[in-house]
Amino acid sequence: MRCLINPSSCDKYTNFRLLTALAGHLLPSYKFNWPEIEWWNDDEFNRFLMKFDELNGFDCYRRWTLKQLLRLTAHVDGDTAECGVFRGCSSYLILLANKNSTKTNQKVHHIFDSFEGLSDPSLVDGNHWSRGDLSSSVNEVISNLSPFTIDKDFLIYQGWIPDRFDELNDREFSFVHVDVDLYQPTIDSFRFFYPRLKKGGILLCDDYGFDTCPGVKKAVEEYFENKPEQMLALPDGGGFIIKGTPVLG
């Protein structure tokens, strides 16, 4: 009880044991991480999380995973893209990686979003989402990405997926982040970007492992059924493929 009233009076491990004991009663299926994870204390990364009000949020693991996967494509030619940008948090990390890329030609980042939230879910998407969920403002995204230069470092394509994809028919990509939560825009994104992904490039699907996004899982299973690459599930709920790297089903 003392630790509950005044957590600072107990050491980290006592508090952690108490936390896991409580969770065992309240949410038995929840799986904790060890409290000694080193990147939790990465000052630069924590400043980034604070910028987007995510320091104590639920997505810090997804952001760290994205940051690490981007390192694998620093040497790969091609632009980057994100389908479903929300407030620009992931695009910020992608743009940082582009600045640090080893490629001579600067990678341009292409952002696709309706800025009206989600489109109408279909039957395969279940009942978790509704039209208009996760809406954001294009001006908010531009503001959040202000350390970078619009029309030079990144371009924004406002509209429903896939309406504006054909503006990039002649481009190739080293990294594509798909985060659109629903079946149709997910499979439309795969159909456009997978053929244009360079060997060694990565396609990251943010919603692959979430039971709130059954349509995304269906899109992955359908599109990659006969592809040599198979989606690798990540512990943060996402999944990714590396173009040209076969994976056993």
Rounded to an integer, what distance in angstroms lies between the CA atom of residue 105 and that of residue 158? 26
How high is the mean pLDDT of the chain?
Answer: 95
Q: How many CA atoms lie within 13 A of 48 on its CB side?
A: 24
Bridge partners for 83 per DSSP: 112, 178
Res 213: pLDDT: 98
Cβ atoms of 89 and 142 closer than 8 Å: no
Instruction: Name the percent of the chain in helix, strand, coil, to the closest 5.
Output: 40, 15, 45
Q: What residues make up the domain containing 113? A: 65-243
Residue 173 lies inside a defined structural domain of this protein: yes
- Please give the angle made by the CA atoms of 127, 132 and 134, to the nearest 5 degrees: 90
**Does the pLDDT at position 176 exceed 70?**
yes
Res 1: pLDDT: 64
Count of domains forming the chain: 1
Residue 94 lies inside a defined structural domain of this protein: yes
pLDDT, tens digit, 9 for 90 and up, residues 201-222: 999 999 999 999 999 999 999 9
Sign of the dihedral through C-alpha 109, 115, 121, 122: negative
Residue 83 lies inside a defined structural domain of this protein: yes
Rounded to an integer, what distance in angstroms lies between the CA atom of residue 176 and that of residue 202? 6
Distance of CA 159 to the CA centre of its chain: 20
Residue 201 lies inside a defined structural domain of this protein: yes
- 110: helix, strand or coil: strand
Residue 25 lies inside a defined structural domain of this protein: no
Look up the CATH number of the domain holding residue 213.
3.40.50.150
Residue 95 lies inside a defined structural domain of this protein: yes
> What b/e sequence results for 171-202 when a residue is b if at least 16 CB atoms lie within 10 Å of its CB, and e otherwise?
eebbbbbbbbbbbbbbbbbbebbbebbbebbb
**Does the pLDDT at position 5 exceed 80?**
no
**Does the pLDDT at position 113 exceed 70?**
yes
Q: What is the pLDDT confidence band of residue 4, given thresholds at 50, 70 and 90?
A: confident
- Of 209, 225, 216, give the one whose Cα is nearest residue 178: 216
